[in-house]
Amino acid sequence: MMDWGLMERNDALIKKKIYKYMLTGVMTTVALQLGNVVDAMIVGNLIGSIGNSAVTAASPFIYILQAAAILFGTGGAVIVAVFLGKRETVGAGKVMGFCIIFCIAYPLIFTAATPLTVPAFIQMMGATGQLADMLTSIATVYSFGMPIISIVIGMSYFIMVDNHPGMSAKMNIVANVVNLILDYILVRYTSMGITGAALSTVLGYVVSGAIYIPKYFRSKERMVTPVFKGSIREGKMIRATMKSGLPNLVNLILTVVSMFVINGVVLRELGGGYFSAYAVANNSLHIVQMFLSGMTTVIASVAGVLYGEKDYFGMRSVFRRVLTSAFIAGGIIMALFLAVPGLLAKMYGFDQPDILPDLETGLRVFSISFAFIILNAVLQSYYRTVGQTFLSTANISMEQVLLRIPLMLVGMHLFGFLGLFYGIIACEILTYGILNLIRFGMQKAGKVPPKGVLAIPDENSAVILDITVQGSDTAAVDVARRIRERCSEEPITPERANRLGVAAEEVITNIAKYGYQPSAKKTIDVCLSHIGDTYYLRFRDDGVPFNPLEFDFGENGEDEVHGLILLKKMAEKISYMRVINLNNTVVEIAAHEMETTGENEQKERV
């Protein structure tokens, strides 16, 4: 008998979503990082190198203030995506609810403690004179503005996951456009100086949040409604969210530690001139990150939902396409660093000609590390999404502190300023190599699925049939026939197998007729799986939002209405949800006649 199984499935639907979410993710992070890049350029050119030094030196303090947004925004978005993949909107709402609470409450603590925290930070940095004054201004403005920034950043992750990637991108773009406009005005035309640069960032988030957060909550395509009452008592969900966001929080904390150590040593050992040069290299990394971060958000947004559905085929497609796209972007940026490093230095307002040759060489050396920076970033995001928190955290720990600090300091001791970049290259290569050794050891010990780098099974063992079809009446009949053929080998009665076939024919016909324009390509993924005594028939398509159970067929839809009424009577349960801008319809039918249908509703859906 012909195998109608996994070999017929393709990633046409998933591919569309990968690139759509990747485009909006890149747009979002380009807006964020480009804001940082241009912000640094404005500060460097209007205030001077010391302005860039102040921005770089203030970064650890700002990262600490952003901790809740990173932990609960990124972690919560992954858990919400998994809940949506499981079609559990109530759980997703609870996660969003307590994440919003923590995103606001945490930075408010620092706002209240500003008179204590800001002076302590300046003392820890060992800054004096004009640099100390600038750091005080930046830290104070961010302390008061971070509650607003935190909730806008946190909501941007949830908005992206919940069918609105374009809105998330627009929210961040508007925040940074407003930031840059005010940046130039306040720094150039007022006496506020560096204080104006920090204030413009806060005002940018105020404007974008006021526009897009209400718009999201009014959207009809929104699947998740935040639940605040009792949400902070959901200990299990909070722990799962924190576990998911832990790698990003660890990354944030260890970045702060690394910055404190490296910045302090460079400033003391090499002097202010070379510290300004190092600040240019640090800021130029944003050019890589603004593409890389946007691409890796696809893993959390799309692969997170697929992981909830146990669609391992789709997850492999996401990983492969994200990594390929990231390498292409990284190669282009590397060529830029190799060709015109002096232009990069000039763009940041670097004004010390005696150090410029060393900075240009340093930027060229630094670019060699980009390939492994990409590999490590993609793996960090992927392992966090599939629940392999230890692997993600281990990667981050080595990359940010355990290997980075000693290798950069040894490199600086041996080779001076250029040794910092030799250390970064060695750190990225060793981090990737050691991570794979750890993963392989865990797979041998049975702690991680033994299926290569991705650490997921080859296929979902519950899946019986997984195919992609082009929606039409002919395809609907053919799929129904294939389902009956496959069910002949399953522990299901012929009458129930026929129900599955009829269900497939009805749903595919109606999706093709009402979910798409007549001339559109009507791609539908059909998956049949079996858990316990229940068969789950899932349909996924990228047509217009179309719930076949609620659609108004009008006066001419009598046959279709009767068909759906029949389908409702045949099935134990029918559910619909739109996730990652794909329609997902699931029909549940028991293998044998059951006394009640309620018990089926409690079973885990695949």
For residue 355, give the nearest of 263, 279, 262, 261 by alpha carbon. 279
Residues paired with 469 in a beta bridge: 524
* CA–CA separation, 113 and 588 (whole Å): 55
What is the pLDDT, as a whole number, of residue 548? Answer: 63
Measured in residues, the chain has a length of: 606
Which CA distances in Å does 32 have to 35, 169, 293?
Answer: 5, 10, 10
* CA–CA separation, 586 and 603 (whole Å): 13
For residue 101, give the nearest of 206, 214, 238 by alpha carbon. 238
Structure tokens at 395: 């990667």
What is the pLDDT, as a whole number, of residue 2? Answer: 36
What is the pLDDT, as a whole number, of residue 307? Answer: 83
What is the pLDDT, as a whole number, of residue 599? Answer: 43
Instruction: Collapse the DSSP code of 540 into the 3-class scheme (helix H, G, I; strand E, B; otherwise coil) and give the result.
Output: strand
What is the pLDDT, as a whole number, of residue 152? Answer: 93
Distance between first and last Cα of the chain: 26
* CA–CA separation, 171 and 216 (whole Å): 10
What is the pLDDT, as a whole number, of residue 28? Answer: 65
pTM: predicted TM-score of the whole model, two decimal places: 0.71
DSSP state of 604: P
Residues paired with 294 in a beta bridge: none
Residues in the chain, pLDDT under 50: 1-7, 553, 555-556, 561, 596-606
Asked whether 365 and 422 are in contact (CB, 8 A), the reply is yes
What is the pLDDT, as a whole number, of residue 564? Answer: 65
Structure tokens at 500: 């599955």
For residue 47, give the nearest of 204, 176, 186 by alpha carbon. 186
Which tens digits make up the pLDDT trace of 249-266?
A: 777 778 778 877 888 888
What is the pLDDT, as a whole number, of residue 197? Answer: 84
Asked whether 126 and 92 are in contact (CB, 8 A), the reply is no
DSSP state of 605: P
For residue 43, give the nearest of 330, 349, 302, 252 by alpha carbon. 349
What is the pLDDT, as a whole number, of residue 551? Answer: 54
What is the pLDDT, as a whole number, of residue 327? Answer: 93
What is the pLDDT, as a whole number, of residue 32? Answer: 58
For residue 248, give the nearest of 395, 81, 93 by alpha carbon. 395
